[in-house]
Amino acid sequence: MPSDDAYDRIGAVFAPAAAAFRSAVTDAVEQVRSYIAAHSATGDSPGAGVESGLGAFGAGHIDENRFAALFADGDTLDPDALRILERALSVLKDLSTPDDPAFTVEVAAGGDVATVVGSAFASIGRAFGAARIAGLVRAGRIDEAAKDDATSPFPFDRWTATERRMAPALVVRLAGADLDAAPLAAWLDGRQKIVLIVEQPAPAAALARLITPGTFVMQTVDPRDTASLSAFDGPGIVALVPEGSATFVHDPSAEPSRRLLVTAKPTAKPRALRRSSVFQQTESLALLDLLDRALNAPAAALSVRETAQPAAVPAKAVTTLPDGTAQVVDPADTLAAWLLAQAGMGAAGATADR
């Protein structure tokens, strides 16, 4: 079982991203609070005391010039608009208050990790929904603003591309028996990051199925390794796994020959878990092995990727290297090379993308 020290280390790695998100939400709190004060005032200067600038969170949600102009018109908010803004302000204030260093959730024993993660992101997303509602009220579109309740969850599929790049990482604690990684691909978009703290027993290579050309994927036993995910400019997922699991890292920003590094493979045969059968675990391990051999195969053995269809491969194929010597090629490597080439993950395709 991961130690409390491991939890603390991971929380410290992702605390800055959580703090930046909360700071941006705090900026939005001040802007909405000032707007309410200005448009509820009865004095000669309803806009007095309003700070300039919308802050990072307001970017993309509120037009600064139009927002500032509203403080000069002296209009008073009607009761419906005021109630809508006050609910939005309450949500923003709630999400700006740090209750832990990072955004952390826990999957109860027997629970569904995808459901918990989806709910967590929908809760975080309320900040984006509240900001949008405030923008609609500011624009005088009260009927549209009233269609959504700022206190309701705002699911990930409603987030914009900009919002998906500014949301904080989510740290998830769960039993390995409850780890079904495939559905988590739905949230690996923009710059979204997920860290799984997995208790034993755990599937050997659950995250292998999440490897795609632009997604950072890692299984590790060392919480310090999660800093690599934090530094990656894109979506990614890391699982802190028990000893005996496969450990590897797929880093799209690395050199082509080092994008997938497999550092350990389990020696024990997989055993059935609540959400992962022996067959499924064996397939994940086989996929990891296939990707490892294909991405790190010699360049001469990868020449097959230039063909439109995979050629029939004999039990033992022979290829000629540039120096004229013959090399026996494992048919599995040849087929893997072709599969990876079609997906754009071969060494040549990776080099072309750089």
- pLDDT for 257 equals 86
Flag whether pLDDT at 71 surpasses 50.
no
Cα angle: 196, vertex 198, 201; to 5 degrees = 155
Q: Can you give the length of the chain in residues?
A: 354
Distance CA(337)–CA(346), nearest Å, equals: 7
Secondary structure E strands in 33-163: 103-106
Give the pLDDT band (50/70/90) at residue 319. low
- DSSP annotation string for 245-310: S-EEEE-TTS-GGGSEEEEE---SPP--BTTB-HHHHHHHHHHHHHHHHHHTS-GGGGGGGGSSSP
pLDDT digits (tens, 9 = 90+) for 268-301: 999 999 999 999 999 999 999 999 998 887 544 4
As separate numbers, helices (DSSP H) first and strands (DSSP E) second, the chain gives 12, 9
Query: C-alpha distances in angstroms, 260 versus 140, 311, 318?
Result: 52, 26, 26
Tokens of 181: 């990684």
Cis peptide before 201 (omega within 30 of 0): yes
Q: What band does 324 get if pLDDT is binned at 50, 70 and 90? A: low
d(CA 156, CA 123): 9
Mean per-residue pLDDT for 324-329?
56
Q: Residue 77: what pLDDT?
A: 86
In whole angstroms, give the CA distance from residue 229 to residue 10: 11
Instruction: Give the model's pLDDT for residue 110.
Output: 95
Mean model confidence pLDDT for the chain: 81
User: Chain-centre distance of CA 333, in angstroms?
Assistant: 31
In terms of pLDDT, which residue wins out, 335 or 30?
30
Q: State the pLDDT confidence band at 350, using cuts at 50, 70 and 90.
A: very low
Q: Cα separation of 238 and 149, whole Å?
A: 34
Residue 54 pLDDT class (50, 70, 90 cuts): very low
pLDDT over 90 percentage in the chain: 62
For the purposes of burial, counting CB atoms within 10 Å of the CB of 150, is it exposed (0-12), middle (13-18) or buried (19 or more)?
buried
DSSP 3-state assignment of 196?
A: strand
Q: What would the two tokens of residue 305 be? A: 């990727």
Q: How far is Cα 211 from Cα 236, in angstroms, rounded to an integer?
A: 9
CA of residue 312 relative to chain centroid, distance: 40
Least Cα distance to 115 among 223, 24, 42, 187 occurs for 187
Q: Which pTM does this prediction carry?
A: 0.75
pLDDT of 179 over the 50 cut: yes
Confidence of residue 212 (pLDDT cuts 50, 70, 90): very high
Mean pLDDT of 145-156: 94
